[in-house]
């Protein structure tokens, strides 16, 4: 356990409570949206599928899952400082991401209670799950002498406005990519238990099914709105959000390759496996998906990640801000260029595949 002195660390809000990481484009964000527009959504075209997804949420399969067992009851002093720092970073970002979902779903449920009871109940149950996830991760941080002040996060974090359409696209993707992130780590550690450094990972198999059910609900919601899949604009938006999610995942995963190395995973291969599976899953919801089999697809994503490392180095090189700005321009152009090449590569037509008889 970390020893707390009388002089609080600049990393702490107060003894034992970690100061949130500085907000950047890659840190988990908090969102708000147009609640009236969501309340007025007509769900009739896919009401049966939405109700089926709601019934899965009501079943609450993981009601007794998030209970810490005796494997947590030990000292973690054997973690060296580097391992401890890497692991706390993983826990903090995971907790913040889950808590962000809780706040959005809770507010949606509250605002829709008297106007769209089906959606209000679904968002209430989604918030229930996200709260459990965030709380369980935060308890893991306590094992290392720290925790996040979730009330402080609620009050101090910047909230980004997303239109409802963007919320549906991005939450669907975040839940499905979350499923693949969790299940691939779980399967790896199941085969290689010598790399399982902490008990949290053994909870991932059932945990990731929450992510999967959440994604299924948002898939039904997306398909109930023809404007989200049956227009030329929806095809462009689908590719755009897949691209931004995959670029962000590549940047954050390769930036934290030390964490994956710590649990015996190759960050590059893990990133590729997560993205391929998420893209394949998205065929069920989106009108178009990206061509992850294109020979340059992952090369371009990894070029974006390499450019991001140069941007980080420039930000800490000690030069005046104006010089840093001009130093960053070529690398920003590099990222935008590679993203544009991916975006304009011929996509996979999911609607055409959906019409095929297998």
Torsion angles phi and psi, residue 293, rounded to 5? -90, -5
Residue 32: burial class (beta carbons within 10 Å; 0-12, 13-18, 19+): middle
Q: What is the DSSP letter of 59?
A: H
C-alpha 268/C-alpha 299 separation (Å) is: 11
Residue 30 confidence (pLDDT): 86
Token pair, residue 314, equals: 């420039």
> Residue 111 has what pLDDT?
96
Query: Quick one: 185 and 163 in the same domain?
Result: yes
Residue 332: give the domain boundaries.
229-358
The last residue of a domain, from among 225, 241, 265:
225
CB 275 within 8 A of CB 250: yes
**Helix, coil or strand: residue 230:** coil
Q: Do 257 and 183 fall within a single domain?
A: no
Q: How many CB atoms lie within 10 A of CB 246?
A: 26
Q: Does 150 lie in the same domain as 268?
A: no
Same domain, residue pair 217 and 269: no
* pLDDT number for residue 106: 96
Q: What is the pLDDT of residue 2?
A: 34
- For the record, the structure tokens of 252 come out as 């954050």
Q: From start to end of the chain, where are the E strands?
A: 12-14, 17-18, 30-32, 147-148, 159-161, 288-289, 348-349
Task: Please indicate, yes or no, if residue 4 is contained in any of the structural domains.
Answer: no
Position 241 in a domain:
yes
- Asked if the structure places residue 6 within a domain, the reply is no
Per DSSP bridges, beta strands 17-18 and 30-32 are unpaired
Phi/psi at 29 (nearest 5 deg)?
-110, 160
Round to whole Å and give the CA distance between 239 and 234.
9
Q: What is the 3-state secondary structure (H, E, C) of 306-357?
A: HHHHHHHHHHCCCCCHHHHHHHHHHHHHHHHHHHHHHHCCCCEEHHHHHHCC
**Phi, psi (5° rounding) for residue 158?**
-75, 135
**Same domain? 100 vs 116:** yes
Measured in Å, how far apart are the chain's first and last C-alpha atoms?
A: 56
Q: Which of 264, 256, 350, 345 lies closest to 305 in space, CA to CA?
A: 256
Same domain, 60 and 132: yes
8 in a structural domain: no
Tokens standing for residue 214: 């959440």
Does residue 97 sit in the same domain as residue 176? yes
| Cα–Cα distances in angstroms (integers) from residue 59 to residues 103, 167, 268, in the given order | 22, 25, 37
* DSSP state, residue 287: S
> Are 179 and 323 in the same domain?
no
166 and 27 in a single domain? The answer is yes
**pLDDT reported for residue 150:** 82
Helix or strand or coil: residue 161?
strand
Please return the burial class of 149, using the count of CB atoms within 10 Å of its CB with bins 0-12, 13-18 and 19+. middle
Neighbouring-strand partners of residue 307: none
Same domain, 96 and 174: yes
| Rounded CA separation 56/217 (Å) | 9
* Residues 210, 340 share a domain: no
Structural domain tally of the chain?
2
| Percent composition of the chain: helix, strand, coil (DSSP 3-state, to 5) | 70, 5, 30
Which residues face 288 on adjacent strands? 349
Claim to verify: residue 47 and residue 184 sit in the same structural domain: yes
Query: Is residue 5, in this structure, part of any structural domain at all?
Result: no
- Ramachandran area for residue 170 (φ above 0: left; ψ -120 to 50: alpha; else beta): alpha
Average pLDDT per block of 10 residues along the chain, 358 residues long:
40 60 66 95 95 97 94 91 90 92 96 95 98 94 87 82 96 97 97 96 95 97 97 98 97 94 96 98 97 98 96 94 96 97 97 73
Q: How confident is the model at residue 274, as a pLDDT?
A: 98
pLDDT at residue 172 in the model: 98
SS3 20: coil
């Amino acid at each position: 356990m970390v020893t707390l002195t009388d002089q609080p660390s600049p990393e702490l809000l107060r003894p034992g409570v970690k100061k949130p990481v500085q907000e950047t484009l890659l840190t988990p964000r908090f969102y708000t949206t147009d609640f009236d527009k969501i309340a007025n959504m007509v769900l009739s075209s896919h009401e049966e599928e939405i109700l089926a997804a709601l019934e899965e949420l009501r079943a609450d399969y993981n009601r007794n899952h998030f209970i810490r067992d005796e494997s947590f009851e030990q000292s973690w002093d054997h973690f060296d400082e580097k391992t401890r720092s890497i692991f706390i970073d993983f826990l903090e970002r995971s907790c913040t991401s889950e808590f962000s979902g809780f706040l959005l779903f809770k507010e949606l449920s509250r605002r829709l209670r008297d106007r769209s009871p089906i959606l209000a109940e679904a968002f209430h149950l989604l918030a229930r799950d996200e709260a459990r996830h965030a709380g369980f991760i935060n308890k893991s941080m306590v094992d290392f002498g720290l925790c996040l002040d979730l009330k402080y996060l609620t009050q101090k974090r910047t909230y980004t406005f997303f239109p409802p359409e963007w919320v549906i696209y991005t939450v669907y993707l975040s839940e499905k990519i979350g499923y693949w992130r969790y299940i691939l780590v779980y399967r790896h550690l199941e085969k290689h238990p010598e790399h399982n450094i902490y008990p949290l990972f053994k909870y991932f198999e059932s945990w990731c099914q929450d992510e999967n059910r959440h994604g299924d609900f948002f898939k039904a919601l997306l398909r109930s709105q023809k404007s989200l899949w049956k227009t030329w604009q929806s095809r462009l938006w689908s590719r755009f959000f897949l691209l931004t999610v995959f670029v962000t995942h590549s940047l954050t995963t390769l930036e934290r390759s030390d964490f994956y190395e710590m649990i015996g995973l190759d960050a590059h291969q893990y990133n590729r496996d997560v993205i391929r599976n998420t893209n394949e899953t998205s065929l069920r919801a989106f009108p178009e998906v990206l061509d992850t089999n294109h020979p340059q697809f992952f090369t371009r994503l990894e070029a974006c990640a390499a450019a991001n490392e140069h941007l980080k180095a420039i930000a800490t090189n000690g030069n005046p801000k104006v010089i840093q700005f001009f130093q960053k321009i070529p690398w920003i152009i590099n990222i935008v260029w590679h993203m544009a090449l991916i975006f304009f590569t011929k996509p996979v037509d999911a609607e055409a595949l959906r019409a095929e008889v297998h």
